[in-house]
Amino acid sequence: MPAVSKGDGMRGLAVFISDIRNCKSKEAEIKRINKELANIRSKFKGDKALDGYSKKKYVCKLLFIFLLGHDIDFGHMEAVNLLSSNKYTEKQIGYLFISVLVNSNSELIRLINNAIKNDLSSRNPTFMCLALHCIANVGSREMAEAFASEIPRILVAGDTMDSVKQSAALCLLRLYKTSPDLVLMGEWTSRVVHLLNDQHMGVVTAAISLITCLSQKNPDEFKTCVSLAVSRLSRIVSSASTDLQDYTYYFVPAPWLSCKLLRLLQCYPPPEDGAVKGRLVECLETILNKAQEPPKSKKVQHSNAKNAILFEAISLIIHYDSEPNLLVRACNQLGQFLQHRETNLRYLALESMCTLASSEFSHEAVKTHIETVINALKTERDVSVRQRAADLLYAMCDRSNAKQIVAEMLSYLETADYSIREEMVLKVAILAEKYAVDYSWYVDTILNLIRIAGDYVSEEVWYRVIQIVINRDDVQGYAAKTVFEALQAPACHENMVKVGGYILGEFGNLIAGDPRSSPLVQFNLLHSKFHLCSVPTRALLLSAYIKFINLFPETKATIQEVLRCDSQIRNSDVELQQRAVEYLKLSSIASTDVLATVLEEMPPFPERESSILAKLKKKKGPGAVSVTELEDSKRESGELNGAGERGPDPSVMAASNASTPSPSADLLGIRSAAPVSNAPASAGSLLVDVFSEAGPAASSGAVNDDGFLRFVCKNNGVLFENQLLQIGIKSEYRQNLGRMYLFYGNKTSVQFASFTTTVSCPGELQSHILGIVEPLVEGGAQIQQVLNIECLTDFSDAPLLNIKFRYGGALQNLTLKLPVTINKFFQPTEMASQDFFQRWKQLSQPQQEAQKIFKANHSMDTEVIKAKLLGLGMALLDNVDPNPENYVCAGVIQTKSQQVGCLLRLEPNAQAQMYRLTLRCSKDSVSKRLCELLAQQF
């Protein structure tokens, strides 16, 4: 950069700044600024033309005034005029003023762009750099439109100076981040990539920032950068500190460039070329070896630079997850940092080990550091380090150490920082559920969790323990005994009362034989907590009381007396009042048989993913990294899992058999689900949710297809749910015919008026609605509608369901996609291996095959994959594919006009977390459609 001559000191500017600093008050400062602004304005408007020095001085003063926080509404044109100066300092001040004060909507933008174009074409490197800096600083879309095609040419031109190339690369990066659609590399791609071979290290450092950003969005276009990056990294890593003197930082050669190269390589899978891969592995081993060498300097800058490269190298090793030797070495190196005196190093080591724990190659190596991590959890002063230690314990947990880790986390919870308690509670609950072999240990752990950190135990946690107890006969008695003992504590958390009320209401009879826990003792214990609880908990306890009347007739008089008292039947809360009145009446007029039927024990909950997992996934930070591992908890813990998304509703206890299922229930295999109530319920819990998961909220008007893809491999569930309405479906298909049961539930206490539904089908499907729904849907009621569907030929568009009704006088209009997809009409076909591959070869025309390679969106659990393929409707063929890891299926789609044979092959790659899905069908449109649908299920 040119030196500033003595005459450029701008004495007038220095005097003005000194005057401002010497002002004793804000008023004095404003007065001095206004005086200066008036002087500058008169100079700019005067007849006498100002020379470049004067313009520069006054523009500088305006810039300083603006930086003090005052508005500037003139001087822009003078700044633009400075751009045409041939003096560096004048042009510099002009560009600085424009970068700070001129917005993209300014009328002067065309003049500015012309001045920038002139400087870019001037071939003066100093002026070119100033112009590029201005473009990057403004970084607007208008700038991108004007210069995005020009800057790549400057970047790769052979005669461009190195300093200009650096500025051009970083300017292009800025424009790409703000307007990626305007920065199209096209023909420049290969030449930009080859900048990695540039002799000037500064150019390589700038270019690699640009290439990394471009590679993240367009990896295929820039994949040639991998070999060049490895080559450049190898030269740096193998060089001595004296080889790259200008770019050596405290005896570490080019640390920033090394980190950027390692980060670029993390955008791609391991190199396929054996020589390149070998060279890269050699580089990584060298970096790990250098970490073991004694430091060449005691300065903190040396260790920081060295460790920065080491951690990026470990991140790359973890990203590849294919070199067991490197993974174990990385783990051992991180283990040394766990006891380092530097807090930041301990934090980074814990964070990286969280990711290493999820690798099959390094999991055991990580576990060897369990005692060190537990000690860090107990003794670390910094809360962020303690949180990372808790995350690592969570990640390294397996069946061999689950009880130890859960015990340590529970112990830590008693003194844990408030900011991390909720997340800790979720993690303890998940680990206890996932690795529980002894169900009594699971119950003890969750109840202990509620005792220690009750305020942080979310509804999902206590819902979950109830669901699991209900689904496990062998733990129900133990759970009732344990919760009864827990309730005897003088200070008992409200969540413990909820769990106790629910479990004793269902299974109190299992411990009633002991005089110490007789029915009246149980009731009195629960009722002693009643007055201390919130309204929802009191509502649950009232439901438990009515259950007691069914379980223990001898308590009827006592409980009726409680229900009859004024504090219940005249309660100011309408929910509690309604329950008390209804339960009192029910216990008085219903016969023993009717009471036993209405208050029957809750049926097992349907199996689905734990809602605790879903909640933890929403948490940010490294602790959530290993959550994806636990998605298979449903399979690993087997019978442990019950329902998930929706917890046990207190009203369900009292109304589990309010009506009998429709005759179609047996055909659909839904006898295990809680029956649907058609009678209005109380305002607090108006519907009994019999479906497997909650539907998404959606707005009225446009077609809602949020729940559509969830039904490709299943037939029952909640299709839609918002604050007013819940729509569930149960469907069955045979040959080319289908029958769908639609359940509309009014979730409010207000009547729906003018309720109408219409179904529109594409031409390839025919539908017929059996019966018209009633135009009035009472608050809390649920009505059913049956839809018959016939498939005439293959199709891609789904039927649309339109629902209109009036709620509180306002018209509600909702359109949903009904989950009728082509795979619903599959007829499974069993085949031997020879027949399968013979048929596979027959379907060899290019248009008959559809193939897709995609990243796994869910856990690659074998049982889950099989369940989804079976849910698709095809026959899952065992011992057919030579590779036992692959899945093959066969089926025939039945339509009225024709039959379409389909073969499927799914090849999972657990190491890369990828799938290759291939479908061959006798009709090409079917192959493509099925491939699209299925690729989104795994």
Banded pLDDT at 133 (limits 50, 70, 90): very high
pLDDT of residue 913: 84
Cβ neighbours for 925, distance < 8 A, ≥ 6 positions apart: 794, 796
Measured CA to CA, the distance from residue 525 to residue 528 in angstroms comes to: 5
pLDDT of residue 618: 59
Q: Do 813 and 827 belong together in one domain?
A: no
Domain end: 576, 599, 622, which one?
A: 599
pLDDT of residue 722: 84
pLDDT tens-digit readout, 360-391: 888 888 989 999 999 988 888 888 898 899 99
pLDDT of residue 697: 37
pLDDT tens-digit readout, 784-839: 888 888 888 888 888 888 888 888 778 888 888 888 888 888 888 888 888 888 88
Q: Which domain holds residue 466?
A: 436-599
Banded pLDDT at 617 (limits 50, 70, 90): low
Q: Do 498 and 555 belong together in one domain?
A: yes
Domain end: 77, 99, 119, which one?
A: 77
Full 3-state SS string of 92-116: HHHHHHHHHHCCCCCCCHHHHHHHH
pLDDT of residue 619: 57
Cβ neighbours for 204, distance < 8 A, ≥ 6 positions apart: 195, 196, 198, 232, 257
Q: Considering the chain, what percentage of its residues have pLDDT values greater than 90? A: 20
Q: Do 844 and 816 belong together in one domain?
A: no
Residue 459 forms part of a structural domain: yes
For residue 887, give the CATH number of its domain: 3.30.310.10
Mean pLDDT for 704-719 is: 80
Banded pLDDT at 258 (limits 50, 70, 90): very high
Q: Do 588 and 487 belong together in one domain?
A: yes
The token pair at 78 is: 């003078």
The CA-CA-CA angle for residues 27, 30, 33, to 5°, reads 150
Whether the pLDDT of residue 631 is over 50: the answer is no
Measured CA to CA, the distance from residue 361 to residue 379 in angstroms comes to: 30
Mean pLDDT for 146-158 is: 88
Banded pLDDT at 601 (limits 50, 70, 90): confident
For residue 811, give the CATH number of its domain: 2.60.40.1230
Cβ neighbours for 780, distance < 8 A, ≥ 6 positions apart: 679, 680, 681, 682, 683, 686, 687, 746, 747, 748, 749
Enumerate long-range contacts of 904-907, CB under 8 Å, 24 or more apart: 904/869, 904/872, 904/874, 904/930, 904/934, 905/840, 905/881, 906/865, 906/869, 906/938, 907/883
Q: Do 738 and 862 belong together in one domain?
A: no
Whether the pLDDT of residue 627 is over 70: the answer is no
Q: Do 888 and 785 belong together in one domain?
A: no
CA separation, residue 471 to residues 553, 637, 747 (Å): 26, 13, 27
Cβ neighbours for 114, distance < 8 A, ≥ 6 positions apart: none
pLDDT tens-digit readout, 543-581: 999 999 888 889 889 999 988 888 888 888 899 999 999
pLDDT of residue 702: 66
Domain total in the chain: 4
Kind plus residue range of the DSSP H or E element containing 616: helix 611-617
Residue 518 forms part of a structural domain: yes
Mean pLDDT for 126-153 is: 89
Residue 498 forms part of a structural domain: yes
Q: Do 859 and 810 belong together in one domain?
A: no
Residue recorded with tokens 């030269």: 235
Q: Do 830 and 915 belong together in one domain?
A: yes
Kind plus residue range of the DSSP H or E element containing 896: none
Banded pLDDT at 50 (limits 50, 70, 90): confident
Q: Do 915 and 927 belong together in one domain?
A: yes
Residue 752 forms part of a structural domain: yes
pLDDT of residue 550: 86
Characterize the bridge pairing of strands 810-817 and 703-704.
parallel
Measured CA to CA, the distance from residue 56 to residue 95 in angstroms comes to: 11
Known binding-site positions: 11-12, 43, 53, 57-61
pLDDT tens-digit readout, 633-690: 333 443 344 333 334 444 334 333 333 333 333 322 323 333 333 333 333 332 233 2
Measured CA to CA, the distance from residue 356 to residue 67 in angstroms comes to: 48
Residue 464 forms part of a structural domain: yes
Mean pLDDT for 881-904 is: 88
Whether the pLDDT of residue 919 is over 50: the answer is yes
Q: Do 583 and 471 belong together in one domain?
A: yes
Residue 836 forms part of a structural domain: yes
pLDDT tens-digit readout, 394-432: 989 988 889 999 999 998 888 888 888 888 888 898 898
Residue 651 forms part of a structural domain: no
Banded pLDDT at 24 (limits 50, 70, 90): very high
Banded pLDDT at 610 (limits 50, 70, 90): low
Q: Do 712 and 800 belong together in one domain?
A: yes
pLDDT of residue 2: 47
Whether the pLDDT of residue 495 is over 50: the answer is yes
Banded pLDDT at 608 (limits 50, 70, 90): low
Average pLDDT, rounded, for the chain? 82
Q: Do 587 and 734 belong together in one domain?
A: no
pLDDT tens-digit readout, 504-552: 999 998 898 888 889 999 999 999 989 888 999 999 999 999 999 888 8
pLDDT of residue 651: 38
pLDDT of residue 241: 63
Residue 717 forms part of a structural domain: yes
Maximum distance among all Cα pairs of the chain, rounded to whole angstroms:
109
pLDDT tens-digit readout, 287-305: 999 888 888 888 889 889 9
pLDDT of residue 671: 30
Domain end: 820, 847, 872, which one?
A: 820
What length is written for the chain? 938
